[in-house]
Chains A and B, each alone.
Chain A
């Protein structure tokens, strides 16, 4: 029973990633693509968590943390690039 529920949720997360990937490919604007990439990151974290439940191991928990950190920094970098045009500034004006 539990295994079935976990497998169904894995399939649904995979479907969600496919939908978000469609938005990344065919997004009309750049912010759509950024939100799609962030959504792919969050769903990938959930998939790894469910896989670690299915395999009954704790080895993937650090993968979840590292992927979360990288996705967070990547989203911040993309949004800063969209808003200001640069990612790392030499000298800011404030």
Chain B
């Protein structure tokens, strides 16, 4: 039987980008407001889960050719590397550096090394969630 899901597919084409952009907003809003790498990663994986619900695993793998295991490993390496910057400077593990920089179009911006650690957390969360969902959701 051929399923008729035109409404679901048309809606998901718009809603996927809304969820993805909101996840980037939540990811960048962290540290001073609620948000951060964990919630951003969960929202990104829920956007990809929406695609998995509407289409199937083969199509999504063709749309986003990402190996999620490698994504998890690179996130761990990034988080661990950022955390051990302080050890090479003679400071404690997880030492946090920040400074003010002038960026074009944005102006005076405060840049933290916690942001790099959060990027690692984001990659780990997206990778682990989608590895779990792909391995338990796709057995026939």
Contact = CB atoms under 8 A, between A and B. Distances in A.
Specify whether A and B are partners.
Answer: yes
A80 to B, nearest CB: 6
Nearest to B26: A62
Main secondary structure of the interface of B (DSSP, over half): helix
B107 interface: no
Contacts, number: 55
B71 to A, nearest CB: 19
Interface string B118-140: 00000000000000011001111
A contacts with B: majority SS: helix
Interface string A56-94: 000100100110011011001100100110011111111
Contacts of A65: 22
Interface of A: 59, 62, 65-66, 69-70, 72-73, 76-77, 80, 83-84, 87-94
